[in-house]
Amino acid sequence: MQISPARRSLSGFFLIGLLMAFPGAILPVWGYHLSSEYLTVGALFLAMVLGVLASLKLAYHLLGRYGIRVALTAAAGTACAAMIYMAAIPPAEPELWRLAGFFWLGLSIGPLNTCLMHAITPLYERDPAATLNLAGGFFGLGCLTTALLVGSAFYAYTVPSILLFLAVIPGLVAGVFAQTKYDVLPMPAPVPIRKAWEDLRSPEAVLLGLLLFFQSGNEWSIAGWLPLFLTQRLGLSPASALHMLAVYWLALLVGRVVTQAILAHVRHGVLLTACGGSAALGCGVLFYTNNRFGAWAGVLFLGLAYAAIYPLVAERIGGRFPHYHPGFFNGIFSIATVAGLLAPSTLGLYAHLWGIRAVMLVPFLGSIAVFLLVVVIRVYTRLTSPATGEARS
């Protein structure tokens, strides 16, 4: 059966998930669970985010001049080369070399995200929430694959072998991208400065932007630091901690599927509120627990709670602010999402000052902020909408 390029592009989010989950999975392999070099860990996360930011303009250039196929192939090839480079770094080399590798990896993520979101534009315009849920499902599968592969190979293979094995995946994906014929889609028009300023003057835009900021920070703080937290706080082996990280991604993936199934039958505002409360509960359990059962419970609560928040928020933003495109850096919402990715790097400073428990305290406070913001947004919507309300608000 022929599958449209837009639908086929959804599977590309598997690669983005693989790359975004890479830092959290590889840190125990490099032995950071045996030390308290929290500032170095934070610097590694910062280097990758800076790479993502540096690649945004490059992504627009590649997409506008060479098209989707060339841009995606180049991005996947860059990811493959970055992992091969990190596999070749001797353990005794200064951390600057690993920082360069993470920056290099970030350079591939920006074009991948931009080009894939551009490729699935026809699906996104038809049904934003369902499209983002499907993309999130492939993304979660990629994250799950990284955690499972690294956790299973931890005691069986050397560090370079693990990195080379992971490098094979973006290499194969680059070959698939090179063989795919993508539709020619018009580039989204840039958002005028005046329009972006109007967003800042809108209370709802500010609230939704803050919600995206805290939610992005919460998700990536857990994804990046969970293995180190579990090994140092609970004494788990690195392999067990990585398998628990895989459970986090599995819960998030299952939550995406369940959300997609019930989306048409549940009020979106109620679902958002429930997820925000569950996320705060999961972080609280992890912060206070001192045993495996509490860790399992907290991880499951977090994975299931985080599953529905971003797609529903993006759908709401797309309905209220039509100029928003989740794949392009434009306006307050994109700034909020990227700023949230900086959270794992700031945790390095907090852990250095207050210990490893601070790694879970920050997402706990962030989850409470998400819950309160959801409540405030629902109240604001009721006060500003017609008396009949919206069918799925």
CATH number of 5-384: 1.20.1250.20
Q: Read off the pLDDT of residues 195-237 as tens digits, 9 standing for 90 and up.
A: 555 666 777 778 888 888 888 888 889 999 999 999 998 889 9
Give me the chain's average pLDDT, please: 82
How many whole angstroms separate alpha carbon 279 and alpha carbon 301?
6
Distances (CA, A) of 187 to 56, 75, 184, 213, 325: 14, 18, 9, 26, 11
Give me the torsion for CA of 359, 362, 363, 369, rounded to 10°: 180
Q: Answer with the residue of higher pLDDT: 324 or 92.
A: 92
Mean pLDDT of 55-83: 87
- State CA 303 to chain mean position distance: 13
Token pair of 318 as six digits: 């797309």
The whole-number pLDDT of residue 230 equals: 92
pLDDT over 60 at 341, yes or no = yes
Model confidence band, residue 391 (pLDDT cutoffs 50, 70, 90): very low
Mean pLDDT of 245-260: 86
Q: Read off the pLDDT of residues 144-202 as tens digits, 9 standing for 90 and up.
A: 999 999 999 988 888 899 999 999 999 999 988 888 887 776 666 555 555 555 666 77
The whole-number pLDDT of residue 181 equals: 81
The whole-number pLDDT of residue 134 equals: 79
The whole-number pLDDT of residue 388 equals: 44
Q: Read off the pLDDT of residues 267-308 as tens digits, 9 standing for 90 and up.
A: 777 777 888 888 888 888 888 888 888 899 999 988 888 877
Q: Answer with the residue of higher pLDDT: 185 or 32.
A: 32
How many whole angstroms separate alpha carbon 160 and alpha carbon 90?
9
The whole-number pLDDT of residue 277 equals: 82
Highest mean pLDDT among 193-197, 318-322, 387-391 belongs to 318-322
Nearest residue to 15 via CA among 163, 141, 131: 141
pTM: 0.86
Model confidence band, residue 390 (pLDDT cutoffs 50, 70, 90): very low
How many whole angstroms separate alpha carbon 194 and alpha carbon 207?
19
The whole-number pLDDT of residue 392 equals: 45
Cβ-Cβ contacts under 8 Å for 290 (sequence gap 6 or more): 233, 234
Q: Under a CB-based contact definition with an 8 Å cutoff, are residues 299 and 248 in contact?
A: yes
Mean pLDDT of 246-269: 81
Model confidence band, residue 334 (pLDDT cutoffs 50, 70, 90): low
pLDDT over 90 at 9, yes or no = no
Q: Read off the pLDDT of residues 236-245 as tens digits, 9 standing for 90 and up.
A: 999 999 999 9
